[in-house]
Chain A
């Protein structure tokens, strides 16, 4: 059990919040649905369910007899509210209890606090205060301490600024969404006290929103579009412009918020005039305009303060400062008028929306908890023991639903046996987008569950006893897959990849588009850039080569399943290196592959559909691949022969002979050959590619793996030196994934991983002035004739020497990059002509 209370609740008229003191800091809990810290203090008794908070507030105007807000004002009165939907009555205490219980659901840590501090308005008398305590006890707290809201807010400020900032007398000016309060607070004999207070229950930020509508939007629209009595048409439920009212209310609130930090704001909305013509309205509001329309209301609030001071025989000069509470105090005019009109310093050091709960949590963090542990037979259900647990053990829940769905919602049913009378249940979706609200438990229950598209939807079903405490049942999660993962879909047997260039190594490699076991149909869009210029009218071609097979293998050994070739002959203008190309890949359930390429610089689209029965082989590409494989195999063979490894070379020699035959046949094959020859040759090429790959792998793989390990550890050391723990954790994760590819990948793939390590290391090294200087020196020491442009290289060296003096890393690097570009022999290895797509 915690030794201090820690938990605090701001049970507000309009909104409520819950927070926890946590070893010198305060955590304000968020609503798991929507992640806001505030819960509107509204309860709605809809036909078959109870809604609390945001959803309940939506029905305040539409269903006023069943929806209850601002019931805090009725605390301590004998009043009860009749609920037509249930035919029962609820007291303000019971409604407050529901809000308090809902706030407990915000506590994501799973704690069930026994003690809590609840804030109350300074105006609450003893009966109202006791009523609040009663609500707290009914909500399951065994110890409830009350704290006046102005005191709580003052504590939040005092904690921020130190007690010295709060000496003497000060005002707490609390202007919320719908209510206004001002309190005069003083420290007397080391005790913080509310001396007096004033308030207006019907004044708040929402009034400012309405002023924007009635004084700015409506006159403008009426005069601009010749409309009569727009206000009444907007406010009437059946009026033509009722929808517009809600649009404008939202826009007005946005404008108000924006004007707190900007001198003017532009509002846009669509408007249909009386004749049915659509208009796009652009409306600018300056802060001066806004100030002019709200000035009277703000001055009225200051008049309250003057009354308060006069009543207490005080001059404004007797007040140290005004502390601001409530979201509406962000408005600059409120702050300005308070400071100018009263001449009192305005304290804005804390978030006014959470000040009360924050201060209350500070208070709770310093108060010892006196709640005794309950006897076992009275412990709440959540603790998992006692009567309630025994009660829960006898409850049987059986659920039924479709685990896969293609619909936007899915029917869920359950049978619940032996549930105690008065129980409720609630179904929520884990992402926060669905909440059934509290519904009465019956032997058979059902609900339409709203599904988020194309994903796994996880719902939880919880049961609550009559008092609203969760019953300790272990009901399995309800998991429904919507859309693409339907059981009707077929999984892809292999990865589907795109062949892209690796210009650094002058090779191509595979980039996965769809992973193996992805469910069809499937679609993906990516944007690539061109790795070289394709000149209009030339025979050069941009290849979009889609292959099936392992992503770790070499492109040449995978099965081509779709290739789009865009040659210079097809082009209306040159395609410049670096231009973007949008690629969309779609595979239907029947495995048709649609490749769409859109090149924005020439505004042209190329689309091709490939189907599994008609394989597509591009003869020109096949020639390039065969030539590349031959060169690669030849180099490997020479190595083997040099080392007198005759036995090992036999297979390779045979493969090279076969490749020569393919090369010969391809020379005689026309680009548009209609026979099966090209498919046969492609099959042969893929088989030979595997032989060459294996021969090369045996030799190169070890070398490349060593290089990879060396670079990875080098990178780790660099990270350790600079103490970058985040990147170290990422590197550990990459290490853990190595096992999935290291022993079955192609040399191309391993080269790609080596490049990745180089890139990561480079990101660190390029900030190191001594490394960058040595790099520059390496290129500067090369003779001028090693570069392609003598004049430029001389100029670069001169500039570089000056840059070294300035020790400007970026400047030196820009020179190094250019020098590298001008270098004639970049020690290029065996290469294959690229696809034209940068990887």
Chain B
């Protein structure tokens, strides 16, 4: 399967998890999400959710929109797309930047 399709799948898994976490999903559904993530990992993709992480301008793993006054310390307030790395022979490399909204908490 082409890598672009794996990334699409990774984004869908991420969105699904994001929606489920907001509600009270059954453990069975969360298990399926974990299994999907394991499959993605087997396919060489590492998914990271940077929600609530501190943000600074050296983070080239994120494509940020800065909201509010943006004074002082910034944090990731919302994640539209997760960070995706791929494992290749020479090591990891960034495949998709996380698309995030950052601002003051």
The residues of A that contact B59 with a CB separation of less than 8 Å are 433-434, 450
The residues of B that contact A435 with a CB separation of less than 8 Å are 58, 60
Q: Any chain B CB within 8 A of the CB of A598?
A: yes
The residues of B that contact A237 with a CB separation of less than 8 Å are 67-69
Contacts A54-B60, A458-B91 aside, 19 further interface pairs with beta carbons under 8 A come to A34-B63, A34-B94, A35-B95, A49-B57, A58-B64, A58-B66, A243-B67, A245-B67, A246-B101, A249-B65, A433-B61, A434-B58, A437-B58, A450-B61, A456-B91, A525-B34, A525-B35, A600-B32, A603-B28
Query: Which of B67, B70, B83, B99 lies at the interface centre, i.e. has the most chain A CB atoms within 10 A of its CB?
Result: B67
Given that A243-B103, A249-B65, A250-B65 are contacting pairs, would A35 and B57 also be in contact in the complex, using a CB cutoff of 8 Å?
no
B101 & A452 in contact (Cβ 8 Å cutoff): no
Shortest CB-to-CB span from B74 to chain A, Å, is 10
Q: Which residue of B lies closest to A58 (CB)?
A: B64
The residues of B that contact A437 with a CB separation of less than 8 Å are 57-58
Given that A237-B69, A247-B101 are contacting pairs, would A455 and B58 also be in contact in the complex, using a CB cutoff of 8 Å?
no
Which residues in A have some Cβ–Cβ distance to B below 8 Å? 33-35, 44, 46, 49, 51, 54-55, 58-59, 61-62, 237-238, 242-243, 245-247, 249-250, 270, 278, 280, 408, 430-437, 447, 450, 452-453, 455-456, 458, 525-527, 582, 598, 600, 603, 605
A434 & B60 in contact (Cβ 8 Å cutoff): yes
A603 to B28, CA, bound (A): 7
The residues of A that contact B61 with a CB separation of less than 8 Å are 432-434, 450
A456 to B85, CA, bound (A): 14
A455 to B85, CA, bound (A): 12
Q: Could you give 28 example pairs across A and B, Cβ below 8 Å?
A: A35-B95, A54-B63, A58-B64, A61-B66, A62-B66, A62-B70, A238-B68, A243-B67, A243-B68, A243-B78, A247-B80, A247-B101, A250-B65, A250-B80, A270-B22, A431-B85, A432-B93, A434-B59, A434-B61, A447-B58, A450-B61, A452-B85, A455-B92, A525-B34, A525-B35, A527-B35, A527-B38, A603-B28
The residues of A that contact B92 with a CB separation of less than 8 Å are 431, 452, 455
A436 to B68, CA, bound (A): 24
Given that A58-B64, A58-B66, A62-B70 are contacting pairs, would A433 and B85 also be in contact in the complex, using a CB cutoff of 8 Å?
yes
Query: Which of B57, B60, B78, B85 lies at the interface centre, i.e. has the most chain A CB atoms within 10 A of its CB?
Result: B60
A246 to B79, CA, bound (A): 11
Which residues in B have some Cβ–Cβ distance to A below 8 Å? 19, 22, 27-28, 31-32, 34-35, 38, 48, 53, 57-61, 63-70, 77-78, 80, 83, 85, 91-95, 97, 99, 101, 103
A246 & B63 in contact (Cβ 8 Å cutoff): no
Given that A237-B69, A525-B38 are contacting pairs, would A450 and B93 also be in contact in the complex, using a CB cutoff of 8 Å?
no
A278 to B103, CA, bound (A): 20
B57 & A46 in contact (Cβ 8 Å cutoff): yes
B93 & A431 in contact (Cβ 8 Å cutoff): yes
Q: Which residue of A lies closest to B64 (CB)?
A: A58
A-B pairs, top 8 by smallest CB distance, nearest first, are A433-B61, A246-B65, A432-B94, A33-B60, A431-B92, A435-B60, A243-B67, A242-B67
Shortest CB-to-CB span from A703 to chain B, Å, is 35
Shortest CB-to-CB span from B89 to chain A, Å, is 12
B57 & A431 in contact (Cβ 8 Å cutoff): no
The residues of A that contact B93 with a CB separation of less than 8 Å are 35, 430-432
A430 to B93, CA, bound (A): 7
Shortest CB-to-CB span from A430 to chain B, Å, is 6
A55 & B60 in contact (Cβ 8 Å cutoff): yes
A452 to B87, CA, bound (A): 13
